[in-house]
Structure 1
């Protein structure tokens, strides 16, 4: 799995202008099954995306298509981890449970 920290590099006015396109991009990747959760950081300096397990290359390619990235409004920090303990609702994502 991956935790993606989105860090804004532009003023919030520019972020807000691109937000509808970013929301559409998020919706597309939820539909494809790539993302599990996302939201704004507090304070509003960026966002967080939790992505399903996938290759780092695939995730980087997906992030490169985010309107925030295309417009150079944000940078991304990707933290990869293996989920070995989860709430029951996330059992299917627990990488320690053999399938």
Structure 2
């Protein structure tokens, strides 16, 4: 499982122009079952994505297709972790990690 921290590297005006394409890309990742949660950082300096368990190479390939990446608008920090305890709502995700 991964937490991805996006840091904007362009003015917010450029981010806003690419936001519809980024939102569409996020929707596709949810449709494919890759992401669990995402949203803006506060203050608005970037974003956060929490992924389902997957191979790191697969995640890197997915992130490379983000319009923020292809337009060089953000940098990505990927943090891998193995949840050992979760809220009941995330139990299925935790069980997927354990197997």
Band the TM-score falls in, shorter-chain normalisation: over 0.9
Q: Does residue 1:94 correspond to 2:78, yes or no?
A: no
Aligned to 1:73: 73
Q: Residue 83 of structure 1 contacts residue 96 of structure 1 at CA under 8 Å; is this kept in 2?
A: no
Q: Which runs of 5+ in 2 are unaligned?
A: none
Aligned to 1:59: 59
Q: Residue 8 of structure 2 contacts residue 75 of structure 2 at CA under 8 Å; is this kept in 1?
A: yes
Q: Which runs of 5+ in 1 are unaligned?
A: none
RMSD over equivalenced CA pairs, Å: 1.5
Q: Residue 84 of structure 1 contacts residue 96 of structure 1 at CA under 8 Å; is this kept in 2?
A: no
The offset of 1:95, in angstroms, is: 4.8
The number of residue pairs the alignment matches comes to 99
